[in-house]
Amino acid sequence: MAKKKKDITASLRTLDDKTHILGAGEVVSQPITDTLEYNFMPYAMSVIMSRAIPEIDGFKPSHRKILYMMYKMGLLTGARAKSAKIVGQVMQLNPHGDAAIYDTMVRLSKGYEALLHPYVDSKGNFGKAFSRDMMWAASRYTEAKLEKICAELFSDIDKDTVDMVDNFDNTMKEPALLPVTFPSILVNANTGIAAGMASSICSFNLEEVCKTTIELLKNPKHDVADTLLAPDFAGGGLLVYNRSAIEEIYRTGRGGFKVRARYNYDKSNNCIEITEIPPTATSEAIIDKIIEKVKLGSIKEISDIRDETDLNGLKITIDIKKGTDPDKLMKKLYASTPLQDTFSCNFNVLIKGNPRVLGVKELLNEWIDFRSDCVRRRTAFDLKRAKDRLHLLRGLEKILLDIDKAIRIIRNTDEESEVVPNLMIGFKIDKIQAEYVAEIKLRHLNREYILKRLQDIEKLEAAIKDLEDILANPKRIKQIIIFELKEVIKKYAKPRKTEIIYSTDIEEAAPEEEIPDYPVHLFFTKDGYFKKITPLSLRMSSTHKLKEGDEIVQTFETSNARELLFFTNKQQVYKTTASFFEDSKASVLGDYVAAKLEMDEGEAPVYMAVTADYKGYMLFFFENGKVAKVDMNAYQTVTKRKKLIKAYSDKAQLSALMHIEEDKELVIVSSAGRHLLINTAVILPKTTKDTIGVGVMTLKKGQRLLYARDYREGEFAKPYRYKAKNLPAAGALLSAEDEGEQISLFGNE
């Protein structure tokens, strides 16, 4: 028994040795170049070629598979089918999950409202493109079929107009491209992100695209901007037209343009109703941004905002305060919210397997080449079929000479397999013609039937001549494409949805936010509390409430519109305005600045600078005796950033900091009791915020710069004792008379 078990173990070990895969389960080093070449590149190519970038027919593979399978299901003319059934059928072509297929189908649908000319006629809840949170129903609840315009996608697809390729498991054939009769690549918006590249194609009005293509077919030098006015979106909106920007997109395939929301003012309810928004925005994002602006106090004219979208379409209602100018408010909202957004174009399209960024004219010329090839292949298919038919009728024509002979040959033939050879010999026709004659039913072997068939010979000969002329004459192919485009315009043209407004007719930049400006007193405490109090409130009560051990370290008489810079212990500065803080009273603690400005954990403000125009300098005094003088302009930014890092150097411990509007005399004191009197003009200013400064005070080991303060005129009996000809300097100890003066001075404070 033990021996048997041992033999089995040995066999298993042998089997394992035979089936062992070299390197399996082992960690091996691999050059990064090999990783990129063998691991990443195949994935990147797959994403680019088979997923994210549209082709010249205007579709990505996922779109094409869904539409083709719906066409094969008879959903172009038949009744709607359950979406779940469609998804199940599409999985024969698309080896992805049902959720991904259904999501893609939703985005092609009429109900989703993302396309100017949707391809899927939907019934049920298919969500909305303009909503982030309005999700579509599950596939078991919705129904769909193809829209009528899909007839233009599959026109003559059974006539070898495009290549048919195997699906993923070689069980079915599917088209490599769809033989679209109009430039769908520009008619419906298409975006995709691949590996290392992306595509973003805006939609254009179908009639304008077709007319532009017709003009290009007639005149290759045609300026597309003359007939293709501007992009057009399913969601409407107002396109801010800039001719040079549009022409740049048309020329290079790259660029951007602004689209803003459409609104109307309801005077009776004193509210603004937004009914169309940019294609890159959602109603929820717009509402969230406006609420954020209201909470920050930058927009004070709005009393309420709500989403009133219903079955009639999108509607965002903004209630405004009495006396507010709605047009002026909308200019501010356009400037600071997604109610105006930029659509960035990147016309990246797969052309014969190569991703290329093309301008509109180049793209239309590529489509013309593609469509010309489709027409040529269709013509060649029809020509072959006509010639084959004519060949059969020529054989039938010979039978007409002696029908009785044909019947006699068939009757006198002993074996069935000899019928065709005997007919070939008897009438001098080929095998194909003989097969055709042999298959004619007995009831059709009469002169009337054969004469009717032979009447088609003249028509076929004329048709063959015409088809051969089309193949030989490129102008005929262009005429056919032009005719088809005109038919598309006649059947499917719609008025523009996106209105064009000219940038010269509108104010691009909204006016500066109006901040109420009035006198205020600002107080900043050692523990980081801030109060903004009006003079009237301060006169009524001037006794400050403070935390135990806290004290007021800075006081300013200024205005509500001044900018405030709070420097922190983490070498950062937080920028805001006095208006950001609510008016307070002396009897309250005030705002805790670190919490109000959302500072980092463990971060606390140590100094507050007040400025209106960023004039003057910031002085930073370090314990090592160095002083940094930074121009205030270094803290002024074009964008309204709230936080700036590296506000001052972290190379040495900070002893004091000070904002001065012009150079002045200061007293610097060391831990040894030495005083140095300097004028700040001798310190050169820097534009680099985190400069380490220059040496001003020389210190012995164990000593440090303690603090700095303004020099008070007359506080020193002999000021020259504390001045130095050259810096850095050690300063001087207080004389006996100055010590008494210091005591007197501090005692009077």
**CA gyration radius, the chain:** 42
pLDDT of residue 530 exceeding 90, the answer is: yes
In whole angstroms, give the CA distance from residue 634 to residue 616: 11
- Which residues have C-beta within 8 Å of that of residue 602, sequence separation ≥ 6? 570
188: tokens are: 């419906």
Convert the pLDDT of each residue in 31-80 to its tens digit: 888 888 888 888 888 888 888 899 999 999 999 999 999 999 999 998 99
pLDDT higher than threshold 60 for residue 508: no
Dist CA 180 CA 56 (whole Å): 10
Q: Is the dihedral of CA 678, 680, 682, 683 positive or negative?
A: positive
User: Residue 173's closest CA among 306, 69, 268, 252?
Assistant: 69
Q: 164 CB contacts (<8 Å, ≥6 apart)? A: 173, 174, 175, 176
CB atoms closer than 10 angstroms to residue 591: 18
Q: Which range among 62-76, 311-325, 501-515, 604-618 shows the weakest confidence by mean pLDDT?
A: 501-515
pLDDT for position 436: 87
CA distance 680 to 660: 9
Q: 161: phi > 0 → left, psi -120 to 50 → alpha, else beta; which? A: alpha
Give the pLDDT of residue 505: 66
Q: Average pLDDT of the chain?
A: 88
Structure tokens at 226: 């003359």
Helix 456-472 and helix 360-400, axial crossing angle in degrees, nearest 10? 150
Q: How many residues comprise the chain? A: 749
What share of the chain has pLDDT > 90, as a percent?
Answer: 62
pLDDT higher than threshold 60 for residue 584: yes
E strands, 156-201, are 164-166, 173-175, 190-193, 198-201
What average pLDDT score do residues 97-117 get?
94
Range with the poorest average pLDDT among 32-41, 116-125, 225-234: 32-41
Identical fold for domains 59-179 and 262-338, yes or no, is: no
Q: Which pLDDT band holds residue 746 (cuts at 50, 70, 90)?
A: very low
For the chain, report the end-to-end CA distance as a whole number of angstroms: 107
Question: Cα-flanking dihedrals φ and ψ of residue 30, to 5°?
Answer: -140, 130
Strand pairing of 302-307 and 173-175?
Answer: unpaired
Nearest in space to 522 (alpha carbons), one of 618, 659, 633: 659
SS3 633: helix
User: Using an 8 Å Cβ cutoff, are 720 and 674 in contact?
Assistant: no
User: What is the per-residue pLDDT across 279-288, written as a single tens digit (0 to 9) for each?
Assistant: 999 999 999 9
Task: Tell whether the model's pLDDT for residue 29 goes beyond 60.
Answer: yes
- Containing 500, the helix (H) or strand (E) segment is strand 499-502
59-179: in CATH 3.90.199.10: yes
Domain layout of the chain by residue ranges? 59-179, 262-338, 515-612, 621-626+656-749
Query: What is the mean pLDDT of the segment spanning 250-271?
Result: 94
pLDDT at 512: 52
Q: Report the sign of the C-alpha dihedral through residues 43, 44, 45, 48, in that order.
A: positive
Q: What is the pLDDT of residues 661-704, one digit of tens each?
A: 999 999 999 999 999 999 999 999 988 899 999 999 999 998 99
User: What dihedral do alpha carbons 353, 355, 356, 357 form, nearest 10°?
Assistant: 150
Query: CA-CA distance, 742 to 739, in Å (whole number)?
Result: 5
- Going through 92-196 in order, the beta strands assigned E by DSSP cover 120-123, 143-146, 164-166, 173-175, 190-193
CB 184 within 8 A of CB 201: no
Look at residue 15 in the predicted model and tell me its pLDDT.
45
> Between residues 48 and 157, which one has the greater pLDDT?
157
- Does 13 have pLDDT greater than 70? no
237: Cβ contacts below 8 Å, ≥ 6 apart: 259, 260, 261, 262, 276, 277, 278, 279, 498, 499
Could you give the CA distance from residue 463 to residue 386 in angstroms, rounded to a whole number?
8
Contact yes or no for 134/127 (Cβ under 8 A) = yes
Confidence of residue 618 (pLDDT cuts 50, 70, 90): very high
Has residue 185 got a pLDDT over 50?
yes
| pLDDT band at residue 1 using 50, 70 and 90 as cut-offs | very low
Helix, strand, or coil (residue 89): helix
Q: How confident is the model at residue 448 (pLDDT cuts 50, 70, 90)?
A: confident
Between 444 and 253, the more confident residue is: 253
CB 177 within 8 A of CB 162: yes
pLDDT above 50 (res 744): no
Element (H, E) at 184: helix 184-187
Count of Cβ atoms closer than 10 Å to residue 242 Cβ: 18
Q: Helices in 282-359 by DSSP H: which ranges? A: 283-296, 326-336
pLDDT category at 30 given cuts 50, 70, 90 is: confident
- Cα separation, 321 vs 136, whole angstroms: 36
Mean pLDDT over 182-198 rounds to: 92
Q: What is the mean predicted confidence (pLDDT) over 96-105?
A: 91
The pLDDT of residue 6:
47
**50-67 CB burial, b ≥16 within 10 A, e <16:** eebbbbbbbbbbbbbbbb
Side chain identity at 479, as an amino acid letter?
Q
Is the confidence at residue 449, as pLDDT, over 80?
no
Beta 617-622 vs 563-568: how paired, if at all?
A: unpaired
Separation between Cα atoms, residue 634 and residue 656, nearest integer Å = 19
Q: Among all residues, which ones are annotated catalytic?
A: 141
Is the pLDDT assigned to residue 11 strictly greater than 70? no
What is the DSSP track for 335-400?
Answer: HHSTTEEEEEEE-EEEETTEEEE--HHHHHHHHHHHHHHHHHHHHHHHHHHHHHHHHHHHHHHHHH
Q: What angle do CA 643, 648, 651 make, to 5 degrees?
A: 130
Q: Which residues pair with 204 in a beta bridge?
A: 231
* Cβ contact 537:588 at 8 Å: no
419 pLDDT more than 70: yes
If one looks up domain 262-338 in CATH, what number appears? Answer: 3.30.1360.40
Q: Which of 26-30, 552-556, 627-631 has the lowest mean pLDDT?
A: 26-30
pLDDT surpasses 90 at 152: yes
Q: How far is CA 566 from CA 9, 192, 550, 603, 610, in A?
A: 77, 44, 18, 11, 9
Contact 85, 141 (CB under 8 A): no
DSSP state of 312: T
CA distance 716 to 317: 69
Asked whether the predicted pLDDT for residue 334 surpasses 90, the reply is yes
Residues in contact with 459: Cβ distance below 8 Å, sequence separation at least 6, in sequence order: none
**pLDDT reported for residue 747:** 35
DSSP annotation string for 540-569: H--PPP--TT--EEEEEEEETT-EEEEEET
Choice between 130 and 749, residue whose per-residue pLDDT is larger: 130
Does residue 12 carry a pLDDT above 50? no
CA 697 remoteness from chain centre: 56
| Residue 83 CB contacts under 8 Å (≥ 6 apart), including other chains | 102, 105, 124, 139, 140, 141, 142, 143, 144
Closest CA to 154 of 132, 172, 128, 177: 177
Report the pLDDT averaged over residues 17-25: 57
- C-alpha 377/C-alpha 48 separation (Å) is 28
d(CA 654, CA 83): 69
Average pLDDT over residues 711-721: 86
- The pLDDT of 106-114, averaged and rounded, is 95
Q: Among 39-43, 175-179, 227-231, 381-385, which is the least confidently predicted range? A: 39-43
